[in-house]
Structure 1
Amino acid sequence: MDYYTLVILGALIGFLALAALLLVPVYRFLQREDEAARRFTAEYLRRQQAARPNGADHDEETPEPPTRP
């Protein structure tokens, strides 16, 4: 093997290592997002809508009427 072949192989291996280093976190992020998207099925959204028909995230508190002293 001559010197140029070693340089080419080193550059190729370095490039592949750098690509893996950068793309693996992106792939893992996309997998988590895909899993989160699967949770929002029609049945899940129907149950959420039935639990909160007015669309509020929390129960609305009714203010107490003012009392006279």
Structure 2
Amino acid sequence: MDYYTLVILVSLIGFLLLAALLLIPVYRFLQREDEAARRFTDAYLQQQQTLHSDGATDPNGPVPPTQT
């Protein structure tokens, strides 16, 4: 094995380790955020369904525009 091959292999391994070191925490953060969003969405939808179970709209909500 000549010197250039050794340098190439060490550089490649170093690059892969650095990429893993930087990308694994980002991936884990995105997974946690996705799970939190999923839980929030389920809880929010259940809350809205119980509040508006009769199909009525929120009385404090926005007023629809008038027809002219």
Give the shorter-chain TM-score range.
0.5 to 0.7
Q: Which runs of 5+ in 1 are unaligned?
A: 55-69
Match of 1:30 in 2: 30
Larger radius of gyration: 1
Match of 1:16 in 2: 16
Gap change, CA 1:46 and 1:18, over 3 Å in 2: closer
Q: How many residues align?
A: 51
| Residue 37 of structure 1: how far off its partner (Å) | 1.2
With the length of structure 1 as denominator, give the TM-score of the two structures.
0.63
Overall identity of the aligned pairs, in %: 74
User: C-alpha distance in 1, partners of 2:23/2:15?
Assistant: 12
Gap change, CA 1:5 and 1:46, over 3 Å in 2: closer
With the length of structure 2 as denominator, give the TM-score of the two structures.
0.64
Gap change, CA 1:46 and 1:12, over 3 Å in 2: closer
Q: Which runs of 5+ in 2 are unaligned?
A: 52-57, 60-68
Gap change, CA 1:14 and 1:2, over 3 Å in 2: same
RMSD between aligned residues: 2.0
